[in-house]
Amino acid sequence: STFINYESSLIKMIKDMLSGIIAKI
């Protein structure tokens, strides 16, 4: 289950990064 939590948090981080990049454009 630890892997699932890590994966979901990783996906959230990537989504936040993409949102930040899109906001800068």
Instruction: Please tell me what DSSP assigns to residue 25.
Output: -
**∠ at Cα 16 (13, 5), nearest 5°?**
30
Model pLDDT, residue 1: 65
3-18: per-residue pLDDT in tens?
788 999 999 999 999 9
Of 4, 5, 11, the C-alpha closest to 19 is 11
pLDDT band at 2 (very low <50, low <70, confident <90, very high): confident
